[in-house]
Every structure is written in C-alpha cells, then in structure tokens.
Amino acid sequence: MTWEDSKAWSDRFLPEIKMILGRRFISEPAVEEDALRNTDLIVFKMEAIRIACRIRKPEYYEKYGDQFTIRSERPSGMETELAKIVRGWGDYFFYGFGGKRRLADWRIGDLDVFRLWFHLETVRLGREPGVLQKNRDGSSDFRGFRWDELPKDFVIERMDARYLDAIRQLELDA
C-alpha cells in the first residue's frame, strides 16, 4: 500500500477525529462569560494547536492495542514523525484503531509529556526508548511504545474500548 493509499484510508476518519477533538478543546464557559461577554463556546488556546493523527487498521488491534507506534527511520533519509516530535513539533497526538465506518479505540496524548519522558528515558537507557519495528514493505521503521510505560498524564483523553467490545465493533465494521 502506498503512502497515498494509507493516508486516504486514515483520512476517512478525519470528520470523527475533528468531532472528538472539538469536544476536548472547545467547551462551554461559565455562565458569567455568556452574560457579560457574549460567549457560548470557548477555546482556551487561540494559537495554532498542532495535532498528529495516526489511525491503525482493525486487524492490528488484537496484537498491538496496548501500544502506539511512531515512524522513526526512513531509508530515504526524510525526517520522520519521531524526529519532528523530539524537535518540538506537535502539541498533541491522536492515535486510534478504525474499522470501515468509525473509530473503535482512541487516545489523545500530550506531546510535551512524551518529549520529556523520551529524553529522560534516552538518558536512563543510553538509547532511544521503545521497540524498533520494521515496516514489512521496507519503507520505514517505527518505534513501538506501550501506553502503560508512559507517565499517567501523557494520555489526556481516551475512548478505551474493552477488548472484546472493540474486537466485535471492528469485525462488524470490516
């Protein structure tokens, strides 16, 4: 599958991802805001918020549902997602598993928390943390990270489907 094919598949979930992120980052203010400042909805940060999104195919949920991956190496030498994150790009990370029509399991991670953890673990281990995984087609390598290895404040929101419910939903969508 080409990068374009993969992107087209995951982009089908962008409307749902935008609804989820909207619920997270747009809220109802205190009643005083509406009464005094004509404010029905409020966004607490008005500068650009950069959100990296990755949606995995349903067949990977059973084996990899307890982890997330970030592209870490490319034979072409192009800068990877992990390098961009480590350099300070991105504020949040949306990661989920999708079926034909909807997401079954997702999390939003705070990339500032990830960056600090990544740097501390690199120093502690003497190498980059995570498990290096080679892409089958040779186009890139990924680092796999278990959700439970990261600080509790990394995940700021989740729809953590129970294992069997998520599998059933993914099978129905497939």
Q: Give the model's pLDDT for residue 174.
A: 56
0.85 surpassed by pTM: no
- For the chain, give every domain's residue range: 48-173
Q: Give the model's pLDDT for residue 14.
A: 86
CATH class name, domain 48-173: alpha beta
- Using DSSP bridges, classify how beta strands 26-27 and 42-43 pair: parallel, antiparallel or unpaired: antiparallel
Q: Give the model's pLDDT for residue 164.
A: 46
| pLDDT tens-place values along the chain, 174 residues long | 677 877 888 888 888 888 888 888 787 878 887 777 777 777 766 677 889 999 998 888 888 889 999 999 988 888 899 999 999 999 999 999 987 778 888 999 999 999 999 999 999 999 999 999 998 888 889 999 999 999 999 999 988 765 546 555 666 565
CA distance 99 to 166: 10
Q: Give the model's pLDDT for residue 165.
A: 62
Enumerate long-range contacts of 128-137, CB under 8 Å, 24 or more apart: 128/72, 130/70, 130/72, 132/72, 133/69, 137/1
